[in-house]
Amino acid sequence: MTLDTSRIGARSAPTTVSWTTTESLLYALAVGAGQDDPASELAFTTENTDGIPQQVIPSFAVVLGFAEGMPEIGTYDPTRAVHAEQSFEVSGPLPAAGRAEITTTITDMWDKDPHAMVWTETELRDPDSGDLLARSRTGAFLGGAGGFGGDRGPSAAWSAPATPPDHEREFATRPDQSLLYRLTGDRNPLHSDPAFAARGGFPRPILHGMCAYGFVARMLVNELCDGDVAPFRSMSARFARPVLPGDAMRLRVWRDEEGASFQVAGADGVIVIDRGRVELARP
């Protein structure tokens, strides 16, 4: 296995992605909208409810940016590749249906010998005006792909606020959540094929990190913005531990003037999503 460090800085040719209300509604269902109460989040789950215009969960921007998949970076073991970190920012509410021009740049390859981290940055722009719709930054952990003599990358310190959380909410995904979420575009067999997951050392297929991430984005819109996506500007987090479909989790949120910090713990109290941060537009 050899990563191709000459690919750092490589930028993909622009491609165009298009979506309809079907894709944006499916994404909302795939990240739990309406799961507890089908009538509670109709702005995310319907496009024709009287007096309730459709809204798009902001993390859908990341899914749109994944349309072309991982760019060419060399060779690695796909059973040991996991989504490690994700951030995104949006210029404003995403349209329920539309088109965007996508470009992805390989920005970093960190040598965590014997492992590696590869970072990509994706931009979504209006194909007519060129205006930026969203930008996302993705960190992929590649087990066993290190040892190529590259930079280890920074080790930024982070700790949760010492005060009690301002919001806490328990939630759980469905046992078949990965089978639903994969219909949004991520068909990695790690999330559906028991034999493939076993080769990666997992007892059964794991939940997509971006599925749990989307659950959290949706709940943050509800908890911090009263269900209105308009103030939502950015979100970042690290996937600290794999989650299995059906697992119970607890979201903890600490508010501040710019937005909030957050963590997600599993039923055993161990952190599964860490270093969470959301920024909101000021009134």
Percent of the chain at pLDDT > 70 equals 99
Average pLDDT value over all residues in the chain: 95
Q: Are 120 and 106 in contact (CB under 8 A)?
A: yes
User: Could you tell me the CATH number of the domain that includes residue 83?
Assistant: 3.10.129.10
Are 267 and 249 in contact, with CB atoms under 8 Å apart? yes
pLDDT given at position 1: 61
Catalytic member of 111, 186, 247, 274? 186
Helix-helix angle 209-225:21-30, to 10 degrees: 90
CA distances for 269 relative to 82, 203, 207, 241, 252, angstroms: 22, 20, 18, 12, 11
The answer, yes or no, to whether residue 56 has pLDDT greater than 70, is: yes
Active-site annotation holder among 191, 208, 247, 274: 191
Q: Between residues 255 and 71, which one has the greater pLDDT?
A: 255
93-121 average pLDDT score: 96
Q: Is the pLDDT at 175 greater than 90, yes or no?
A: yes
Angle at the Cα of 227 (from 62 to 173), degrees rounded to 5? 60
Can you give the residue range of the structural domain that contains 134?
A: 5-280
pLDDT of residue 79: 84
- Let me know: does 178 contact 191? Beta carbons within 8 Å: yes
Count other Cβ atoms within 10 Å, centred on residue 174. 13
Whole-angstrom Cα Rg for the chain: 18
Confidence of residue 35 (pLDDT cuts 50, 70, 90): very high
pLDDT in tens, 182-234: 999 999 999 999 999 999 889 999 999 999 999 999 999 999 999 999 999 99
Read off the DSSP letter of residue 283.
-
Burial 179-209 (b: 16+ CB within 10 A, else e): ebbbebbbebbbbbeeebbeebebeebbbbb
Span 99-114, average pLDDT: 96
Do 259 and 166 meet the contact criterion of CB atoms below 8 Å apart? no
pTM recorded for the entire structure = 0.94
How many whole angstroms separate alpha carbon 130 and alpha carbon 124? Answer: 9
Answer yes or no: are the C-beta atoms of 240 and 200 closer than 8 Å: no
Which amino acid belongs to residue 116? Answer: A
57-67 tens-digit pLDDT: 999 999 999 87
Domain count, the chain: 1
- Catalytic site residue 115? no
User: How high is the pLDDT of residue 282?
Assistant: 80
pLDDT tens digits for 66-81?
876 678 899 999 888 8
Distance from CA of residue 2 to its chain's centroid? 26
Angle at CA 137, nearest 5°, toward 132 and 138? 140
The residue behind tokens 């970093």 is: 108
Active site residue 186: yes
What letter does residue 148 receive in the DSSP assignment? S
Listed residue (272, 224, 276) closest to 248, CA to CA: 272
